A and B are shown apart, each in its own frame.
Chain A
Amino acid sequence: MSCDEKRSNPHAFRNDAAAKVTGRAKYADDLKAHGMVHVVPVYSDEVHAELVSLDVSGAEKMPGVVKVITADDVRRIGGQPTWSYLIPDYRMIVGAGDHIRCNSDVIALVAAETRAQALEAAKRVTSVTKPLPVVLDAEEALKNPPVFLYEDRVFEGKKNNVVNHYKVRHGRGKEALSECDFILEHTFRTQHHEHAYIEPESALCTLRPDGVMEVMGSMQHPFSTRRFVAAILGCPLADVEVRSIPMGGGFGGKDDTAAIVCARAALAARLTHRPAKLTYAREWSMRESYKRHPYILHYKMGVKDGRFYAAEVEIIADAGAYCSATPWVTFRSTAQCCGPYPVPHVHCDVYGVYTNNVFTGAFRGFGSPQVNFAIEELADMAAEKLGISPVEFRRRNMVRQGSITVTGQALSSHEVTLEKAMDAVLAAANIEEKMKKCSHGVPAEGSDELYGVGLAISSRGMSLGGEGADFNSAIINVNFDGSILLEVAVHENGQGAESAFMLIAAKELGCDVKRIRYRMASTSNIPDGGTTVASRGTLMGGGATVIAARNLKEKMASVLCKKLCCAPGEVTFHDDRIWGKDGAVSMSWQEAGDAFYWSKDYPYAFGVFQGGHVSWDEETGQGDAYFTWVYGCQAVELTVNRKTGKVKVLGMTAAHEIGRAINPPMLLGQIYGGMVQGLGYGLQEEMKNEGGRMKTLNFNSYRLFRAADLPEMQAFFLESGDPNSPSGAKGIGEPALELMAPAVANAIASATGERFFQIPVTPERILARFKARAAEAEAKEHGVGKSEPEGT
């Protein structure tokens, strides 16, 4: 059922591992093309301004410059400089007469013989701008806007900065708050969080002689990339071929940003009639790429008879200057606004709001890490007020088989395994014993270290849910020599998707995985399968693989049954051979290929997996938000130094229910990596800006955890299968990230006795709180009135 594979079970299967461990894997910036130009972006220093005019003449005269590209060039070829997939508001290049809406905006591109020449020339692009008022606070932009980012935009009948507004109206809503024993009313805040993939964006684009723009880039959604490229070039989708190459990490961050980098490179290739490479410096990547949405979360959570009974919630998500995936991200926050608790009465409003900050979009977790931070702190606070343990509170309140979620969905399509996941963590790390030893603000004699333990649980809807149409495809093509080509419309982001599909196909076909070659995917070969997000890769791509394999077996049985002296239904596939009735006769895959050749037919199959039923009512926020769910629990043990505020993490433990494990070592790798990203989110990672200008532009100022800062981790997985998934597998990418920040906040509270309502909980914020408390105590001693510490 569960296992700890820490050092005991090696032999991960990866089709791309040998290439990656020898340095032979070619990422986008490792590629070259004859005669290619080097492209760089030109930024404006403005945060919000009218771009009155642009002068590129100085840049054009610089040595080596092939072309300086502006939005006018895009219009001239019939392309769209402004485009996106939900609201078409993204300025791939801001043109003169348009507005610069954030400091990340690009106003021109320079293509030159060398990168150094392009960089030099980029400095010579000048502009005349007329500054506009700036709004950086999402709540202000929503409730008291000093300026509208899109003057013509009207939403819900009036002019405002709202991107989207989702609601939940469940039970008797906020009315039921009056029936509660007590209400926890708090505001939580989260930060701009950077994906920090180690490979910056890069693209190499070539206009082929057949008129097709060929794109190879560091992106996680080839089909979205194709749409951006087609938009900027003003051409049909069929005229763009995006090919999958190794990508150096994405975590949701290489969807639109990376697609836009590809689109700009394609534009340069189109206009210069030469291959074009655009590789981002880390500073450009951090300046321009979208982040995780900062949230302001106002909760009134009512508790009655020891249970979460009623909630009034307002969530404000800072979309930045462009919409990107904001409606989809906030959809998840809406559907999961009460975390893993089936609160019977809920009134929730979630707003995505335009500001002049860098835009925000998809990031592993996708609207749940912010909500979980608030909800899982509220759970601990409720437990404390009730005088019961955080574990006991969760046992009483968590979703169980058949529970009705806040959107009115009955959890009955699959096994609800949240308690099993929590119990696995409790047992493995002895959490309940450790909880008894927490400092609660009082260190052990002679020590400055405050000890704490915290945990968090979650239920998570899988895949896109009510936010989109969910389907995927796979192609299995058996060659006449018996070797097999597999292609799935899910992108390999580095997580091992291709390897998982190969293992799934091998299992379903009863063949040796070595027989299978994963075909380098191309948008011109396989239909659009959507993006590799929402932890849908293994579920949707694996589902399509299973269905393609079943279709293939049916096809092969119908052709081979005569030779195998049996009926088609009696043909079986196992032990790397194809068998007749009761194993009396069998043939090799090569013999099968040969038989197909002589029967003038193909052992070829296409498989489509359509995600299960979902429904959503926009007005009430009621419906079956997701067709299946996963469950998880993570815990952390740490100390906080009361003099420095420094946090030392002593241990982290996770257990996740994932349906079925396909490639256990890679599954564990997802959990470990997710825990550490979640830890960074909770403790130290924050994109900082001053007046809308990003200040954390590289890894010296944006600090990621390093190996030496981290403790050993324990990871467990639980397998209960899932009838909604053809392979039985669900997913793990996002569940692994969405829990550690609240676990950390709860652990810090149990260590210090102080509750923090804003992440990251940095040493500076901890120290500020300690100082405020000390000042408060001193004032009390001197008879001065009580002062509340700062709201952080």
Chain B
Amino acid sequence: MSAVTNINGREVAIPDEELEMNLLEWLREVRDLTGAKNGCGIGVCGACTVLVDGKAVRTCRQKVAFIAGKSVVTIEGVSPPEGPLHPLQQAFIDYGAIQCGFCTPGMVMAGLALLARTPHPTRPEIRKALAANLCRCTGYQQIVDAIEAAAGEQKSDT
């Protein structure tokens, strides 16, 4: 019996022979979910971050077996292809948090994981939550601005 996982809201069967594959490689090469990037291959840059059961996980350090029976959200699943962007994604655009964009998917996933557990974080809390993700372009300032703004928006929604 093959393992099952849920990726971006859809059930996916994992053939046994794929369970030992590197999770990032599997997402990118087998599932064609190329939003997660390979920046270092050793789990220190965070460009490969996805959510597994709501928690930020660096996929380059995991095997596919890790997501068996779990629920995965990649950057491709954050907002529908035809629909509006997630407020956090929109905030990244509005606040100039995107330059080369290579770290952006990982940063968005780290931001989402933070806002899920701490809906109204302080700026130091945001910085701490991004500590596993490297960005070489922005100096992080506008990424922190974007997450703070998105959190503020959440506040006004509730």
Interface set of A (CB-CB < 8 Å, partner B): 6-7, 10-12, 14, 16-27, 29-30, 195-200, 246-251, 281-282, 493-496, 665-666, 668-669, 672-677, 698-700, 704-708, 710, 712-713
Contacts and interface: CB of A to CB of B under 8 A. Distances in A.
A23 B105 contact: yes
B139 A699 contact: no
B136 A677 contact: yes
Q: Sorted from nearest, which 4 A-B pairs have the closest CB atoms?
A: A23-B35, A494-B100, A248-B102, A20-B101
Contact of A672 (B40, B100, B141): B141
B69 interface: no
Contact of B108 (A21, A24, A704): A21
B140 A676 contact: yes
Given A668-B96, A672-B141, 19 more contacts: A10-B145, A12-B95, A12-B98, A18-B85, A22-B79, A27-B37, A29-B34, A198-B47, A250-B100, A493-B100, A494-B99, A672-B139, A672-B142, A673-B139, A699-B44, A700-B44, A706-B133, A706-B140, A707-B127
A197 B100 contact: yes
Contacts of B123: 712
B127 to A, nearest CB: 4
Interface residues of B, number: 59
B93 interface: yes
Contacts of B126: 707
Contacts of A281: 41
A710 B103 CA distance: 18
A199 B102 contact: yes
A20 B133 CA distance: 16
Interface string B72-91: 00111011000001000101
Interface string B109-149: 00000000000000110111011011111111111110011
B36 A249 contact: no
Contacts of B53: none
A46 to B, nearest CB: 25
A669 B146 CA distance: 12
23 contacts: A6-B141, A10-B91, A12-B93, A14-B98, A17-B92, A21-B101, A22-B35, A22-B75, A23-B105, A27-B34, A30-B34, A197-B102, A198-B45, A198-B134, A246-B100, A249-B99, A249-B100, A668-B142, A669-B138, A698-B40, A699-B40, A699-B134, A707-B135
B11 interface: no
A448 B59 CA distance: 41
Nearest to A736: B139
Interface of B: 28, 33-42, 44-45, 47, 74-76, 78-79, 85, 89, 91-105, 108, 123-124, 126-128, 130-131, 133-145, 148-149
B39 A706 contact: no
Contact of A7 (B38, B93, B127, B145): B145
B98 A20 contact: yes
Contact of A22 (B76, B131, B140, B144): B76
A131 to B, nearest CB: 31
Given A22-B78, A26-B34, A707-B144, A17 B98 contact: yes
Contacts of B94: 10-12
A707 B97 CA distance: 13
A565 to B, nearest CB: 43
Given A669-B138, A675-B139, A704-B136, A21 B85 contact: yes
Contacts of B130: 706-708
Contacts of B131: 706-708
A672 B140 CA distance: 8
Contacts of A29: 34, 37-38
Most buried by B among A30, A198, A281, A713: A198
A607 B123 CA distance: 46
Most buried by A among B34, B39, B98, B134: B98
A701 B79 CA distance: 36
Given A666-B96, A669-B142, A25 B136 contact: no
Contacts of A24: 35, 76
A677 B137 CA distance: 8
Contacts of A17: 92-93, 98, 101
A247 B136 CA distance: 13
Most buried by B among A195, A669, A698: A669
A530 to B, nearest CB: 20
A678 to B, nearest CB: 10
B41 A673 contact: no
A198 B135 contact: yes
A62 to B, nearest CB: 21
Nearest to B100: A494
A23 B38 CA distance: 13
A713 B141 contact: yes
Contact of B100 (A248, A705, A706): A248
B37 A704 contact: no
A12 B145 CA distance: 13
Given A21-B89, A22-B79, A665-B95, A700 B42 contact: yes
